[in-house]
Structure 1
Amino acid sequence: MPGSLLPSPKPNGADTVALTQKLRKVLCDKRYIIVVDDLWAKYVWESIRCVLPVDRKSRIIITTRRGDIANSCRYDDSIHIHKLQPLSPQRAEELFYKKAFSSNGRCPSGLEEMSKSILQKCDGLPLGIVEIGRFLSTKPQTPNVWHKLHDSLESELSSGGLSYLMEVLSASYNDLPYHLKYCFLYMSIFPENSPVNRGRLIRLWIAEGFVTEKASKTVEEVGEEYLNELIDRSLIKVNEMDFDGRPKNVGVHSLMMKMILSVSHEENFCTVYTGPEGNFTAKTRRLSIQKKDIDAPQDLPHLRTFISSSRGRVKIGSNLKLLKVLDIQGASLEEFPSVIKDLLLLRYLSLRNTNIRSIPNSLRNLRHLETLDLKQTLVTKGFKAPKRLSALKNLQKLSFVKASGQHRMSRQHRMIQGLENLTQLRKLGIVELAKEDGTSLCHAIGKMEKLHSLNVTSLNMEVPLELDAMTNPPPLLQRLYLKGPLERFPQWVSSLHDLVRIRLKWSSLTRDNPIEALQDLQNLVELQLLDAYTGTQLVFKSENFQKLKILDLQKLEQLTYIIMQEGTLPHLQKMIIALCSKLACVPIGIERCRDLQELHLFDMPQTFVTALEKNGGKFRHLVRHIPHIGSYKQGQLVEDLS
């Protein structure tokens, strides 16, 4: 079945029945192999499948660029899905040289560096390597000619000798449902080869209005579905995975970016501005600045989105009343821009990685604000909340706000009480929490049904966190970070069945064993105990912690034994043990953790380290299945025990 099976009109009922009977008769009692190449529509495979005789000796091979279609074809365990990976640098080079220098398959002198640069743009994609190699094989093989072709590759893709490659890439975009096209085109806003954080991308989609809630699903969950579908369709690639198995940051292949930029320009979706020669008009709706130290155009009354990737200065125009998204992270910025207070429609504001020190009270005027990102600024350690913070009822992310105040009914104390109005929060970070404010905070958090991440730090490492008053814990909480002494382990934590990551620091629990309190949380993926327990033993009981991948134990100064019973921690991949000076031996039962890939020992006694050495270490046989074992002093690797 040659050619691309793009969606086409379905045949009428009579034709389908006749064709089905004919094909079934031909294949009956025969062994066959059928290849369906470049499948684009699910109904095509369903039409084929229903007429095939049941025959385990025959074979069917289907190729498709869409992961969702591949999964739909897998109706039982006998069907194998093979995901094609980009070619390795060596294989990519061999293929490119074979196509570009067909005479002998060797790169002529003087073209090596240019060839490597072109291969980087191909990013291991065989189709791109073949088509660009063929195109270059028709050109004079001189450095000057190749340099010009390299610089004009984008124009060649859209109108020159590589237009076929653009057509193939565009077919994937054209096949997208309407709601995903804008989400995909949004990648044109970010610089090429710049990793894009998953959470940031989804929050931007939401602020733009590209994602809407569905029945029983939050808007963030729908955004995750959109991203996963674009990944399944091989349009967006995963650069790095997060600890919980989700993409941490994503991107697009270089050639695909060229196609995105072309479509984005044609549809006036986004203008990428690199200086005075930039092509923008008064109708520009989205502006992306990707060059250092340039002044953005000032008169853009229809602008909805302003994103800067520049590390230099960024000037924000005053005539931007319709702006919904302002993301200028990394800009050379010392003070909070005064113009922001007038952007009353703003839904997303990121000043991450700038040098601003405070935020003004006028921020309360931004009633539609959903995301306020102040990470890696000079207010990250905690900022005083502006007056009437409770007015920002659409806010979804708030961190880190100071809870400290000089008097019991101080403004900061009233701020804690006012948090109960922020019912749309998904992420909350509180620092400098006084013991007496714990009850008010628990009451406020109990009204945040959409909260996914909670980070609470006490006033200092001597002041206890009083969090026992929580009667209605957030049902969707996935990340919990508690930093401060705990007189008792909060019982409500044991009911957080969606929890995937928990970090306890300075807890110094004496009576309550955190392992026993957390053992029934079957979705827990990462557990960090940092100066969190004063007991002598940690026992991981059989059949518990079935999904835990990362275990981090630090400064448990009284700990003498870690016991891992049979059947516990079956998927543990990374373990950190640090500053546990009394630990007598490696965890008992660690030899049964067959998925364990990394064991990192920080500032552990030399006798402990010596016992794991290859030559004569008395505990070596228990850890020999672990590929990577390292001993560190003051953060530096001093001995590789692998």
Structure 2
Amino acid sequence: MGAEALVKFLAQRLDYLLSKETENFSGLSGQILQLKSKLDESGCFIQTLDRSKYGNESVRQWIRELRDTIYDVEDLVDQFITGANVSDESEKALLIIRCGSDLESIQVRLTQILDRKPQCDTSASSAGGGHGESSSSFVDPGDQSLALLVSEYMSLPYYLRSCLMYCCVFPAKCGLSKGTLTRIWMAEGIIQAKSGEILEDVAEEYIEKLVSLGLLETELDCRIEFKVPYPLRRFLVDEMMEENFIIACSHSEPIIPATARHVSIHNCWNDAIPNLNDLPIRSLFVVGIRYWEHPKFTFYGLKYLRVLHLEWMRNMVKLPGIGRLKNLQSVKGVYARGSISRELGCLTQLRELGVLNDYDVGELSTSIMKMSGLLSLTLTVSLIFDEDLLDTSEPFSPPPFLRKLQLEGRLVSLPDWLSSTENLTKLRLGFSHLFENPNAVLQFLPNLKHLTLWKAYNAKQIGKEFCPAGGFPKLEVLVIASYNLVEWTEIEKGALPSLKYLHFHSCSRLMILPEGLQYVTTLQKLILFPFHGDHARRLDPERGIEHYKIKHIPKVRFFE
């Protein structure tokens, strides 16, 4: 995170802690306020710095010293909050004395750093908002498109620059969903709160702004994903490595510096993964790891943990002691069984949770119900989805603000509680193999925008009752995967009033598209993968007897 963003973030966090942790900080509030004043002074000075001077080594060294000091403040605050939970009053008093002494030392360091502010001409501005020596060396002067993107990037406020950097934490081939970006930004505290708006809506505004400037690319597919344009991504990765913002570790670069705060590990085998214990890591991204036998974490300040694309999951992501990581806001890829199901109940700040659980369903349900702010939940019963039953019989009340839900495993019937998820915008039912039409319930979810039915409904024939008029008022994306489906006879006129994207995946027996598809005038894209051999003849633009059903759709894709 750039120095300006880091200063702003920590100042905001101290404000929050003073208001929410009044009792714990009662003996330190004066020192915290003095520290915040120093941080505000640092932030004001950084704002006056002309970015063309960032290539000056004295400026860079000064910013590094300031950043290291701010990191020490963040570590101290986290350690204090963790220790303040002790019940022994004498221990708590001793903790306040120790923390007060450390704060005093940090105050002295900050004062000395501010006394050594670099003497730069802050009145000059670089042409076109240039980035100076530290960045211009990465830009080919002949690459006008990249130069334009970099110029747009440099004109962004500090928090949007940080948001864009976090779009580069995963490998280039990985597109990021809106929900993933939102959870990362929220966990890192870089979304600026607005009166009357929830943070998720502010994050959506950020995404729309970055897309409008061409700094994020998007494509409407079976899921909406965002990527940084490749030339700009290379530029940003260089910037991030320069600032120790993200250390990307692959099989060829297994060493992580002791100062790393944000770590992305991908494409490693077990013996190439470095020891992460005792590092001051705040966010950890793990992608494409083939095997990680004993991941153990002692960094209590961790806010974001995401594990993707894993093999041998049962042996891999057991994470004993995860309940101690109370700052976590996002956890995915965890095998929750036994004590881990109970420990998850300690993570009451979680906004996103993804777990594999084939046992203590009651323990896990109890833990999830404690997560009142949870927005995204993925429950997976097994890696062999077609065989194992996802038990939803335990009493359960879904978190009230849940927006995204993914259930992977066989279901006897839809969970009773699903009808109460009024804030749900995205739902995936995977390998449910239901014998009753799930849409009889799902059509009444008032805010549902994205529905994936992946081997979720075993019917061979469906009719207008599948998506009746008046149901699914906001549904924009519908993905259906079914080996059984032979015929969808009819879509009622007035049904699916907001649908933009329709994807038939693995519906190899589906011979005829539904009558009434021509009335879904909002459709922008239709995909058939694979498509029945008879479709080519029936949908042919010149002689096809069913072409009238799809001629209004701007993008139609057929795949053998």
TM range (shorter): 0.5 to 0.7
Of 374, 389, 393, 2:326 maps to 393
Is the counterpart of residue 469 in structure 1 residue 406 in structure 2?
no
For residues 347 and 629 of structure 1, do their structure 2 counterparts lie closer, same or farther at Cα, with a shift above 3 Å needed?
A: same
Secondary structure (helix, strand or coil) at the match of 1:417 reads helix
Paired residue for 1:458?
A: 381
Of 505, 510, 514, 1:587 maps to 514
Paired residue for 1:183?
A: 162
- Rounded Cα–Cα distance in structure 2 between residues aligned with 1:167 and 1:577: 39
Q: CA deviation at 1:592?
A: 0.5
Of 346, 351, 354, 2:286 maps to 351
Q: Give the percent of matched residue pairs that are identical in Structure 1 and Structure 2.
A: 27
Which range moved further: 193-202 or 366-375?
Answer: 193-202
- Structure 1 runs not aligned, ≥5 long: 1-130, 132-150, 265-269, 274-285, 288-304, 404-411, 638-642
- Rounded Cα–Cα distance in structure 2 between residues aligned with 1:487 and 1:551: 23
Q: Residue by residue, what CA displacement relative to the aligned partner does 1:565-597 show, whole Å, maximum 9, x if unpaired?
A: 111113323323345576563212111012334
Of 406, 424, 445, 1:521 maps to 445
Secondary structure (helix, strand or coil) at the match of 2:440 reads helix
Match of 1:353, as an amino acid?
G
Paired residue for 2:502?
A: 575
CA contact (8 A) 1:433 1:458 kept: yes
After TM superposition, the structure 1 = structure 2 runs for residues 420-569 of structure 1, keeping only pairs within 5 Å, are 420-434=345-359, 437-459=360-382, 460=384, 461-510=386-435, 512-535=436-459, 536-538=461-463, 539=465, 540-555=467-482, 557=484, 560-569=487-496
- Rounded Cα–Cα distance in structure 2 between residues aligned with 1:381 and 1:367: 24
Q: CA deviation at 1:453?
A: 2.1
- Rounded Cα–Cα distance in structure 1 between residues aligned with 2:423 and 2:153: 35
Is the counterpart of residue 337 in structure 1 residue 277 in structure 2?
no
- Rounded Cα–Cα distance in structure 2 between residues aligned with 1:594 and 1:485: 34
Q: CA deviation at 1:342?
A: 0.7
- Rounded Cα–Cα distance in structure 1 between residues aligned with 2:282 and 2:396: 32
Match of 2:370, as an amino acid?
K
CA contact (8 A) 1:514 1:533 kept: yes
After TM superposition, the structure 1 = structure 2 runs for residues 153-168 of structure 1, keeping only pairs within 5 Å, are 154=136
- Rounded Cα–Cα distance in structure 1 between residues aligned with 2:167 and 2:437: 50
After TM superposition, the structure 1 = structure 2 runs for residues 137-148 of structure 1, keeping only pairs within 5 Å, are none
Is the counterpart of residue 622 in structure 1 residue 546 in structure 2?
no
State the TM-score, normalizing by the size of structure 2.
0.62
Q: Residue by residue, what CA displacement relative to the aligned partner does 1:351-399 show, whole Å, maximum 9, x if unpaired?
A: 3234442342x31x22221211221344667734122222222222222
CA contact (8 A) 2:160 2:206 kept: no
For residues 378 and 513 of structure 1, do their structure 2 counterparts lie closer, same or farther at Cα, with a shift above 3 Å needed?
A: closer
- Rounded Cα–Cα distance in structure 2 between residues aligned with 1:212 and 1:541: 41
- Rounded Cα–Cα distance in structure 2 between residues aligned with 1:181 and 1:606: 48
Q: Residue by residue, what CA displacement relative to the aligned partner does 1:582-639 show, whole Å, maximum 9, x if unpaired?
A: 656321211101233433334555446543344654433333333444544xxxx3xx
CA contact (8 A) 1:578 1:602 kept: yes
Q: CA deviation at 1:543?
A: 2.6
For residues 456 and 202 of structure 1, do their structure 2 counterparts lie closer, same or farther at Cα, with a shift above 3 Å needed?
A: closer
Structure possessing the higher relative contact order (Cα contacts under 8 Å, 6 or more residues apart): 2
- Rounded Cα–Cα distance in structure 2 between residues aligned with 1:599 and 1:576: 6
- Rounded Cα–Cα distance in structure 1 between residues aligned with 2:524 and 2:208: 27
CA contact (8 A) 2:376 2:402 kept: yes
Paired residue for 2:316?
A: 383
Of 217, 229, 232, 1:239 maps to 217
- Rounded Cα–Cα distance in structure 1 between residues aligned with 2:396 and 2:167: 46
- Rounded Cα–Cα distance in structure 2 between residues aligned with 1:500 and 1:469: 24
For residues 183 and 196 of structure 1, do their structure 2 counterparts lie closer, same or farther at Cα, with a shift above 3 Å needed?
A: farther
- Rounded Cα–Cα distance in structure 2 between residues aligned with 1:194 and 1:602: 22
Q: CA deviation at 1:498?
A: 2.6
Q: CA deviation at 1:519?
A: 0.6
For residues 565 and 204 of structure 1, do their structure 2 counterparts lie closer, same or farther at Cα, with a shift above 3 Å needed?
A: closer
Which range moved further: 218-227 or 389-398?
Answer: 218-227
Paired residue for 2:262?
A: 325
- Rounded Cα–Cα distance in structure 2 between residues aligned with 1:184 and 1:544: 36
Q: Residue by residue, what CA displacement relative to the aligned partner does 1:267-292 show, whole Å, maximum 9, x if unpaired?
A: xxx6755xxxxxxxxxxxx22xxxxx
- Rounded Cα–Cα distance in structure 2 between residues aligned with 1:567 and 1:167: 45
For residues 438 and 250 of structure 1, do their structure 2 counterparts lie closer, same or farther at Cα, with a shift above 3 Å needed?
A: same
Which range moved further: 604-613 or 371-380?
Answer: 604-613
State the TM-score, normalizing by the size of structure 1.
0.55
Secondary structure (helix, strand or coil) at the match of 1:416 reads helix
- Structure 2 runs not aligned, ≥5 long: 1-127
Is the counterpart of residue 419 in structure 1 residue 344 in structure 2?
yes
- Rounded Cα–Cα distance in structure 2 between residues aligned with 1:602 and 1:224: 30
Match of 2:455, as an amino acid?
D
CA contact (8 A) 2:247 2:264 kept: yes
For residues 381 and 168 of structure 1, do their structure 2 counterparts lie closer, same or farther at Cα, with a shift above 3 Å needed?
A: closer
The CA RMSD measured in Å over matched residues stands at 4.5
CA contact (8 A) 1:464 1:486 kept: yes
Secondary structure (helix, strand or coil) at the match of 1:341 reads coil
- Rounded Cα–Cα distance in structure 1 between residues aligned with 2:254 and 2:138: 33
Q: CA deviation at 1:528?
A: 1.8
The structure where helix makes up a greater share of residues is 2
Secondary structure (helix, strand or coil) at the match of 1:433 reads coil
Of 296, 302, 311, 1:369 maps to 302
CA contact (8 A) 2:485 2:509 kept: yes
After TM superposition, the structure 1 = structure 2 runs for residues 125-140 of structure 1, keeping only pairs within 5 Å, are none
Q: CA deviation at 1:172?
A: 9.0
CA contact (8 A) 2:261 2:281 kept: yes
Match of 1:239, as an amino acid?
E
Paired residue for 1:600?
A: 527
Match of 1:485, as an amino acid?
R
Q: Residue by residue, what CA displacement relative to the aligned partner does 1:434-478 show, whole Å, maximum 9, x if unpaired?
A: 4xx333332222222222222222244333212243542122222
CA contact (8 A) 1:207 1:347 kept: no
- Rounded Cα–Cα distance in structure 2 between residues aligned with 1:396 and 1:517: 30
CA contact (8 A) 1:240 1:248 kept: yes
- Rounded Cα–Cα distance in structure 1 between residues aligned with 2:428 and 2:416: 16
Q: CA deviation at 1:489?
A: 0.8
Q: Residue by residue, what CA displacement relative to the aligned partner does 1:2-35 show, whole Å, maximum 9, x if unpaired?
A: xxxxxxxxxxxxxxxxxxxxxxxxxxxxxxxxxx
Is the counterpart of residue 307 in structure 1 residue 247 in structure 2?
yes
